[in-house]
Amino acid sequence: MAIREIRLEGDEILTKKCKEVKLFNERLHTLLDDMYETMTKAGGVGLTGPQVGVLKRVVVIDVGETPGENKIELVNPEIIESEGSQRDSEGCLSVPDIFGIVERPKKVTVRAQDRYGKWFKLTGEDLLARAICHETDHLEGIIFREHVIEYCEKK
135 is catalytic: yes
Applying CB under 5 A, among 59, 60, 92, 108 the residue interacting with Co ion is 92
CB atoms within 10 A of CB 112: 23
Residue 139 touching Co ion (CB under 5 A): no
Task: Name the minimum Å distance from CB 94 to Co ion.
Answer: 5
Residue 74 touching Co ion (CB under 5 A): no
What is the Cα 29 distance to its own chain's centre?
A: 17
Cα-based angle 81, 104, 134 (whole degrees, multiple of 5):
90
Nearer residue to Co ion within complex by CB, 28 or 92? 92
Nearer residue to Co ion within complex by CB, 39 or 92? 92
User: Residue 43's closest CA among 93, 102, 89, 98?
Assistant: 93
Nearer residue to Co ion within complex by CB, 58 or 92? 92
- Runs of H (alpha helix) within 48-125: none
Residue 61 touching Co ion (CB under 5 A): no
Task: Name the minimum Å distance from CB 26 to Co ion.
Answer: 26
How many residues at the interface with Co ion, by CB under 5 A? 1
Name the active-site residue from 20, 73, 83, 135: 135
Q: Could you give the CA distance from residue 68 to residue 133 in angstroms, rounded to a whole number?
A: 21
Distances (CA, A) of 26 to 23, 29, 115: 9, 5, 9
Task: Name the minimum Å distance from CB 134 to Co ion.
Answer: 5
Chain residues binding Co ion by CB under 5 A are 92
Catalytic residues: 135
